[in-house]
Amino acid sequence: MATSVYLSNPSVTINSVDLSDQCTAASITYTVEALENTAFGSTARTYTSGLANNSITVTLYQSYAASETEVSVYSLVGTTTTLVLKPSSGAVSATNPSYTLTGAYLESHTPINASLGELSTIDLTFTGGTLTKATS
Amino acid sequence: MYIIVSPRLGTPGDKYEPADGVNVQALIDGGLISTDKPKKSSKVKEEPVEE
């Protein structure tokens, strides 16, 4: 029987810094670009694998306090880093796999993203890098 | 050698060994880790032992 997943306690580590308690959304996009190799004589389009083009997007509450979001993120802009995401904060296992994106590039960051009457949040997109999955 | 400052990386005061691909300079810039400066040797000379 199929089951639906409800994630309430994922683990999000950015550049070794555990920012799980500031994170409200996270997604990994695992992509291998499709290169068309259809040729004369083909009756349907066909593709072969190209370069991997992975990305991770996270939404974090902004905080300017020591050890919080801003100081953890600001210096990463324009550089590459490593992110580790897990469905749950528990030990890595087959049912709680760990996804590591190594060499991911952070192009931009919004140090101030404010609206009256709302908590400030920031959206970060890390692109590129090598994605690996661990189950132990 | 690096020392953990922020509890978000581990126990403050413990040694920090960066994993592959971690941007160490960003952690230093953010005050999340510190560099361990080697201690200077004492300049006070010990008194000669009288025999």
Condensed to tens digits (0 to 9), the pLDDT of residues A41-77 reads 999 999 999 999 999 999 999 999 999 999 999 999 9
The verdict on B20 touching A (C-beta cutoff 8 Å) is yes
- Give the other-Cβ count within 10 Å of A98's Cβ: 18
The domain locations on chain B are 2-7+12-35
Q: What is the ipTM metric for this complex?
A: 0.86
Say how far apart CA A106 and CA A58 lie, in whole Å.
12
Domain A11-134 in CATH 2.40.30? The answer is: yes
User: Does the beta-carbon distance from B22 to A82 stay under 8 Å?
Assistant: yes
Q: In chain A, positions 25-54, which contact chain B (CB-CB < 8 Å)? A: none
- Give the other-Cβ count within 10 Å of A28's Cβ: 17
Interface contacts A/B by beta carbons within 8 Å: 58
Cα separation values, A98 from A40, A108, B43, Å? 43, 25, 51
pLDDT of B8-35, one tens digit each?
999 999 999 999 899 999 999 999 999 9
For testing contact with chain A, the best of B15, B27, B28, B34 (most A CBs within 10 A): B27
Rounded-to-5 percentages of helix, strand, coil across chain A: 10, 45, 45
The domain locations on chain A are 11-134
User: Does the beta-carbon distance from A75 to B20 stay under 8 Å?
Assistant: no
Say what the pTM is. 0.87
